[in-house]
Amino acid sequence: LFYLFSVELSLSFFPACLSTLSALFLLAAGTLFVFVLPFSRYNLILTFLTTLTLSTVLESLVAMTFGVNVKSLFSESWSSSIEFFGIYITPIQIVIISSGISLLILLSSLVHLTPLGRRIRALSANGAAAQSLGVSEKGFSLGIFSLGVVLAGYAGILVGYESNLQPTMGGIFTIKAFAAMVLGGLGNIWGTLLGAYILGFIENFSLGLTFWGQSLPASWKDAFAFVIIVVVLLFRPNGLFGAEERKS
């Protein structure tokens, strides 16, 4: 969507970004009420399969509309290197890091320090009890689900400036995000952040490994996300920073 608004329609960054996120909010609302809530009453696995099918359909529509060739949002102002204490970093990488930390602080404050956050946690812990106290499940589900989609869209825009675009690029990022959550601990915002940094360090340091005199190919670094998921689930199912479940 951002490629459509930014390149095809020649909008500047902020109007294109606002248009993209607004469209994603509407798409998220439609997805929630048509494909998520109706099926979540029966089986969570059915809901997962439904949304997985929908994502495949959307990927195919994007490929049919824009083609399967790699697209680029390259901008010289975003990609010029800046030396920082002997480390070269691009402006878009600075924006990615600062945006990620800022959004995590805001989300953590929202969830843990506000009345709205207490209602969200109440719904997560016991939806039936929260609804009996007047908390609207559909309203909060719409807000949370749409916010998640909008944040994912914003992350996708930043990644689009950092690397090339292609219709199927979201799959590996979804797996890596899940690996970071599993590593840090499901439901733990700061654990997920640390898990993401640990995963990133492992992937990049793996490029320097050698086996029998041969360096590990760069394409293999994505496999570490799968390895981490398996290892953590085997030895630490709640993640490195997840709390152990209490047994009655």
- Range of weakest confidence among 81-95, 205-219, 230-244: 205-219
The confidence score (pLDDT) of residue 242 equals 65
Q: Does the pLDDT at position 208 exceed 70? A: no
Asked if 195 and 239 count as a contact pair (C-beta separation under 8 A), the reply is yes
Nearest 5 degrees, angle CA 82-CA 86-CA 89? 30
**CA 170 from chain center: how many Å?**
9
pLDDT tens string 133-175:
777 778 888 888 888 889 988 988 888 888 778 887 777 778 7
Average pLDDT, the chain: 80
Rounded CA Rg of the chain = 20
Nearest 5 degrees, angle CA 138-CA 242-CA 246? 85
Asked if 241 and 185 count as a contact pair (C-beta separation under 8 A), the reply is yes
Q: Does the pLDDT at position 247 exceed 60? A: no
What's the rounded Cα separation, in Å, for the pair 178 and 181? 5
Q: Does the pLDDT at position 245 exceed 60? A: no
The DSSP symbol for 89 reads: E
Looking at the DSSP bridge assignments, the partners of residue 82 are 89
Phi-psi region of 83 (alpha: psi -120 to 50; beta: other; left: phi over 0): beta
- Range of weakest confidence among 10-24, 112-126, 226-240: 226-240
What's the rounded Cα separation, in Å, for the pair 37 and 141? 9
The confidence score (pLDDT) of residue 211 equals 64
pLDDT tens string 36-76:
888 877 777 788 888 888 888 888 888 888 887 878 776 76
Copy the structure tokens of residue 102. Answer: 């800022």
What's the rounded Cα separation, in Å, for the pair 122 and 130? 6
Which pTM does this prediction carry? Answer: 0.77
pLDDT tens string 88-123:
778 888 888 888 888 888 888 888 888 888 888 887
The confidence score (pLDDT) of residue 210 equals 66
Q: Does the pLDDT at position 81 exceed 80? A: no
- Nearest Cα to 20, choosing from 2, 41, 43, 38? 2
How many other CB atoms sit within 10 Å of the CB of residue 73? 22
The confidence score (pLDDT) of residue 103 equals 87
> If you write DSSP's letter for every residue of 106-163 in order, what string do you get?
HHHHHHHHSHHHHHHHHHHH-HHHHHHTT--HHHHHHHHHHHHHHHHHHHHHHHHHHS
Q: 3-state DSSP helix/strand/coil percent for the chain, to nearest 5?
A: 75, 5, 20
The confidence score (pLDDT) of residue 131 equals 77
Q: Does the pLDDT at position 82 exceed 80? A: no
The confidence score (pLDDT) of residue 183 equals 80
